[in-house]
Amino acid sequence: MDRTQLIERLRRETFDVLVIGGGATGCGVALDAASRGLRTALVEKQDFSEGTSSRSTKLIHGGVRYLEQAVKRLDRGQFNLVRDALHERALLLRLAPHLSRPLQLVTPLKRWWEVPYYWVGLMLYDLLSGRASIGRSAYLTRRRTLKRYPALRAEGLVGSVAYFDGQFDDSRMNVELALTAIEQGAAALNHMEATGLLKEDGRLSGATLRDGLSGESLTAKARIIINAAGPFCDLVRRMDDPTCEPMLTTSSGVHIILDAAYAPPDLGMLIPKTEDGRVLFTLPWMGHTLAGTTDTPAPLAEHVPVLDEEIEYILRHVRLYLDRPVTRTDVKAAWSGLRPLVSNPKAGGTAKLSRDHVIADSPAGLITITGGKWTTYRKMAQDAVNHAIARGGLTAHNACRTTQIPLVGAPGYEPEAAPLLAAQFGLAEDTARHLNLAYGGRARRVAELASAGLAGRLAEGHPHIEAEVIWAVREEMACTAIDVLARRTRLAFIETRAAQAALPRTIELMAKELKWNKARRAREQRQARALLEGSL
Ligand SMILES: Cc1cc2nc3c(=O)[nH]c(=O)nc-3n(C[C@H](O)[C@H](O)[C@H](O)COP(=O)(O)OP(=O)(O)OC[C@H]3O[C@@H](n4cnc5c(N)ncnc54)[C@H](O)[C@@H]3O)c2cc1C
């Protein structure tokens, strides 16, 4: 991926659509627009998925919680939402089979009357998924529950209900969405901030941009601008109209990582009611246990601090349900993601709150798309591009076809290829398995790089290897050490200490590949250390 060439395209071409924001929503929009034959650009001020999209619970789900609300309120719209999300769930599992898989989750029950309540609810969940079903729900007796999830607290347990949802690697899927959009013809760039919007005769005509790596400014021309800046949407709206009212408020959702002993490798847990009436998950993820999340009002910030009380809140619930001691020192990593909460949809002009997402139009033609969830990014993108075509009088070559476009790692992916990779390239078993899942059909090319003297582990006890650093730079647009450690390999999300240990070697490899001078190396070191020691 040649950054210079992509920047040159930004300067030279007039685009049909310029997308601001490279999270799931923005990259989904870029892929949809480019695959309809629209001239498409995307700019992301940090890295693809640097925002909320790398900080999710990593579930591809219809939302059992939303279903409960639908039943309680007899809300048909809410039922449709769950049904549509279940349909998207099945699609994503098909479009990115290497990065996603079905996962069974249990809901432990402590009162007998809860059994029929949750059982009926999950039957409905299965029913709504129809042909998009990925596995049937089941009632598990107390004994069977404890057999499947030995760390569960037995005291007071009457049994559990088990159901299926999808699980995925959010930031790798986000990066692959960006790469797939580029394959379809989009000019998508990370580390490129939209700093202002340009107008001609009162209509938006482009944006001023700042290259976060070189510090250079440039302008890009576009007929339609789509604001997919997530929690930052209001800041982009203000570039268009400095007097506009905010649409969003934000809240922080924290997750923590514990070691593998807190969840079986093939089973998650949904805690049905926390002390503040929400749900909380413990999930097996990347050989560890992910637990979360919280919901704490928090101001807009690039890196949201994780508060001690948020970590304590999660640990308290884990202790309540698991018969295994857990303290602050067991937490290997913690991070926060900002929820963009649409509190004032009408502020966006002619807002369309059609699903759980909003598409809003400004008089100058800024189209803002926000809300929704990771699972529904594709449908959100489809709606936004339909809207842009109508609003901008754009001519697309074809209708939306994103249900048919697999992500870049999907072609050639073989679920059982890991032992072959290990044998052929002399890789350790865990590394081969990790490469197969992370890179899918492209894993062999990463393994080939490894066999050229880059098979060393980046950190003791983790499967990630040196070849991935070079691959991330050459093929996945990683520009900084944290791009590699946080969003290409996920090491920084799994264990802070391991990421710190991997940092010097990562910088050394990147410096050689990208011809960094001493000053640039020192800057990388400083910035990455600060993020790993503070808030990721
Ligand atoms: C704690 C938590 C858990 C969640 N768990 C799940 C889950 O398990 N499953 C699920 O389906 N959904 C989940 N969600 C929802 C899901 O994560 C979000 O809906 C989704 O990630 C939002 O993506 P986005 O692209 O709209 O926003 P973001 O990912 O935040 O992307 C916006 C991007 O815009 C960029 N940007 C901002 N301003 C500019 C500018 N001026 N120029 C260029 N770029 C700019 C930002 O850097 C950012 O990368 C969760 C959300 C939270 C908060």
Model pLDDT for residues 281-325, shown as the tens digit of each residue: 999 999 999 999 999 999 999 999 999 999 999 999 999 999 999
Q: 3-53+172-247+344-404 and 418-533: same fold?
A: no
Tokens matching residue 22: 């490279």
Is residue 314 a contact partner of residue 292, using CB atoms and an 8 Å limit?
Answer: yes
Cα separation, 228 vs 224, whole angstroms = 13
- The alpha carbon of 166 and the centre of ligand 1 are apart by a number of angstroms equal to 18
Task: Give distance in angstroms: CA of 461 to centre of ligand 1.
Answer: 30
d(CA 527, CA 479): 13
pLDDT at 71: 81
Locate 157 and state its tokens: 């347990």
CA–centroid distance, 178 to ligand 1, in Å, is 14
Fill in the amino acid letter for 51.
G
The closest of 292, 274, 275 to 283, measured between CA atoms, is 292
pLDDT at 65: 81
The best mutation among 374, 376, 379, 493 to test binding of ligand 1, ranked by most ligand atoms within 8 Å of the C-beta, falls on: 374
Confidence at residue 317, expressed as pLDDT on a 0 to 100 scale: 97
Mutate to test the pocket of ligand 1, among 56, 58, 376 (most ligand atoms within 8 A of CB): 56
Residue 399 DSSP symbol: -
The pLDDT score that the predictor gives to residue 348 is: 60
The arithmetic mean of pLDDT across residues 467-478, rounded, is 98
Q: State the Cα–Cα distance between residues 444 and 425, nearest whole angstrom.
A: 9
Mean per-residue pLDDT for 437-454?
Answer: 98
Residues in the chain: 536
Half-sphere exposure of 501 (CA within 13 A, CB side): 14
CATH topology classification for 56-167+250-339: D-Amino Acid Oxidase; Chain A, domain 2 (3.30.9)
Distance between CA atoms of 435 and 433, rounded to whole angstroms?
6
Domain ranges in the chain?
Answer: 3-53+172-247+344-404, 56-167+250-339, 418-533
Alpha-helical regions (H) of 362-477: 377-392, 418-425, 429-439, 443-450, 466-475
- Name the H helices within 130-259: 142-148, 170-183, 233-240
Which residue's CA lies nearest to atom 26 of ligand 1?
230
CATH architecture assignment, domain 3-53+172-247+344-404: 3-Layer(bba) Sandwich (3.50)
Angle between helices 443-450 and 418-425 (to 10 degrees): 20
- Report how far residue 234's alpha carbon sits from residue 347's, in angstroms, rounded to the nearest whole number: 10
Centre of ligand 1 from the C-alpha of residue 52, in Å: 3
Mean pLDDT, range 107-125, rounded to an integer: 93
Point out the ligand 1 atom lying closest to the alpha carbon of residue 85.
11
Pocket of ligand 1 (CB under 6 A): 20-26, 43-46, 50-53, 55-59, 61, 193-194, 228-232, 236, 253, 293, 337, 339, 370, 372-375
Q: What are phi and psi of 92, to 5 degrees?
A: -65, -40
Q: Residue 338's beta-bridge partner residues?
A: 252
Q: How confident is the model at residue 350 (pLDDT cuts 50, 70, 90)?
A: very low
Question: Ligand 1: which atom is nearest the Cα of residue 192?
Answer: 43
Q: How confident is the model at residue 351 (pLDDT cuts 50, 70, 90)?
A: very low
Within 231-376, residue ranges assigned H as helices are 233-240, 308-321
Tokens of 216: 């250079």
> Which secondary-structure segment (H or E) carries 352?
none
Ligand 1 atom nearest the C-alpha of 370 is 26
Three-state DSSP class for residue 339: strand
Q: What percent of the chain has pLDDT over 90?
A: 92
C-beta of residue 291 within 8 angstroms of C-beta of residue 256: yes
- Strand-pair category, 267-271 with 100-109: parallel
Which is the closest atom of ligand 1 to the Cα of 369? 26
Confidence of residue 207 (pLDDT cuts 50, 70, 90): very high
- Find all residues with CB under 8 Å of 45, minimum gap 6, and list them: 191, 192, 193, 194, 212
pLDDT value at residue 73: 82
Q: With 80 as the cut, is the pLDDT of residue 153 above it?
A: yes
Helical spans, DSSP H, in 248-290: none
418-533: in CATH 3.40.250.10: no
**Lowest mean pLDDT across 62-71, 83-92, 250-259, 273-282:** 62-71
pLDDT tens-digit readout, 378-393? 999 999 999 999 999 9
Mean pLDDT of 233-238: 98
CA of 49 to the centre of ligand 1 (A): 7
The answer to whether the beta carbons of residues 465 and 481 sit under 8 Å apart is: no
Atom of ligand 1 at shortest distance to CA of 46? 47
Ligand 1 mutation pick, 43, 53, 169, max ligand atoms within 8 A of CB? 53
Determine the distance separating the centroid of ligand 1 and the alpha carbon of 370, expressed in angstroms.
9
d(CA 299, CA 305): 10
- pLDDT tens-digit series, residues 70-98: 888 888 888 889 999 999 999 999 999 99
| Average pLDDT value for the chain | 95
- Residue 349: what pLDDT? 56
Q: Which atom of ligand 1 is nearest to the CA of 239?
A: 41
Q: How far is ligand 1, taken at its centre, from the CA of residue 53, in Å? A: 4
Between the CA of 381 and the centroid of ligand 1 the distance, in Å, is 13
In this predicted structure, what is the pLDDT of residue 344? 78
Which residue puts its alpha carbon closest to atom 31 of ligand 1? 23
| pTM for this predicted structure | 0.97
Task: Give the separation between CA 517 and CA 523, rounded to whole angstroms.
Answer: 10
